[in-house]
Amino acid sequence: MKAITISHYGAPEVLTVRELPDPVAGAGEILVQVKAFGLNHAETYMRSGQWGEVAQVTGIEAAGVVAEDPSGRLPAGTPVIAIMGGMGRTRNGSYAELVTVPADNVVPVDTTLEWTDLAAIPEVYATAWTALNDNLAIEREHTVLVRGATSALGQAAVNIAADSGATVIATTRAAKNAVFLESIGATRVLIDDGQLVTQVRERGITVDSLLDLVGNSVLRDSVATVRPRGRVCQAGFLGGLGPVADFAPIADLPSGIQLSFFGSFNFGTPEYPLSAVPFTDFIAKAASGTYHAKPFRTFAFEDIVRAHELMESGSAGGKMTVAIG
């Protein structure tokens, strides 16, 4: 099979297209013929070596068809999406024509979406939905702030929260993004200068919950921005992976604030089964236009270096996908 491999850890150009032996599905696995895959910031960390030793083939999500299911549960040719299950970390991932995935991390789908459109949905929508509904427990009357809203995950969160009936405040570092964020469901857009707590207080805004995709660099500000007994969920690290220096809960975490983290690597475990995630709903709403889920840009398999360069530059503008074949 043709696969994109990490020749050594480093910049985007270390990604190399080469031939590898076809993988074989073992017990409890499904062999997927990949038609398209989504690009995620996690893959830049894997490629660069920031997450230590990882698989030769990266990629944490895919859309395609079943090539083989040893259990017989899914017939060959069944359209599926697949996410996580160790892909790209402890086992070869989706940047390939074929990938083996734990059966619990494969979901059959029925859709007329193009493969590259379908591939834009699994990771970001499953993560956003889980963080909003599980960690943050959003309700219709809540005001939800999405910090880092112009990212692919942020846009999915704005779509989902707005569709649920919540009032959505989105943040961006560039004022030019405000109109776009409003078009996908944000009621209000704030320019993130690192001091959202000041902006929120000056405007008299009450924030019930905050989804933080920027990460550790703004954590102190995020937990101060929500109302008393509000919730904050961190689900991204757009601001980098550096730790929060000298973080002391007694000094930095307001009393009663619930701070949590969600990592999508948990999907497919008994605690976070994919059967609990409404993928059918995501796909239907993407197809109808209720969710603005189309990829910002689609690349050919051989253009993976350019795709990673754009993703790493922070100027992608949304979800990007790669077509195979």
> Do residues 151 and 233 share a domain?
yes
Q: 191 lies in which domain range?
A: 123-265
Helices 304-313 + 41-48 axis angle, to 10: 110
Q: How far is CA 53 from the centre of its chain?
A: 21
For residue 317, tell me if it sits in a domain: yes
Q: Quickly state the pLDDT bin for 241 (edges 50, 70, 90).
A: confident
Tokens of 133: 């509904």
Question: CATH number, domain at 301?
Answer: 3.90.180.10
Neighbouring CB atoms inside 10 A of 237's CB total 19
- 109-112, long-range: CB < 8 A, 24+ apart: 109/79, 109/80, 109/81, 109/279, 109/280, 109/283, 110/79, 110/280, 111/79, 111/283, 111/287, 112/287
265-309 tens-digit pLDDT = 999 999 999 999 999 999 999 999 999 999 999 999 999 999 999
> Do residues 93 and 127 share a domain?
no
> Do residues 59 and 90 share a domain?
yes
> Do residues 15 and 41 share a domain?
yes
pLDDT for the residue numbered 314? 82
For residues 312 and 320, the answer to whether their CB atoms sit within 8 Å is no
Q: Quickly state the pLDDT bin for 175 (edges 50, 70, 90).
A: very high
Nearest Cα neighbor of 66 from 88, 93, 33 is: 33
Which of 226, 244, 265 lies at the terminal end of a domain, its last residue? 265
> Do residues 106 and 182 share a domain?
no
> Do residues 108 and 156 share a domain?
no
| CA 43-38-313 angle, 5° bins | 55
pLDDT-above-70 percentage for the chain = 100
> Do residues 134 and 250 share a domain?
yes
**Mean pLDDT across the chain, nearest whole number?**
96
pLDDT for the residue numbered 325? 77
Give the sign of the dihedral formed by CA 55, CA 92, CA 43, CA 168: negative
> Do residues 301 and 260 share a domain?
no
For residue 312, tell me if it sits in a domain: yes
* 84-93, 111-120, 236-245, 272-281: the lowest-pLDDT one: 236-245
Which of 223, 245, 265 lies at the terminal end of a domain, its last residue? 265
Q: Tell me how many domains the chain contains.
A: 2
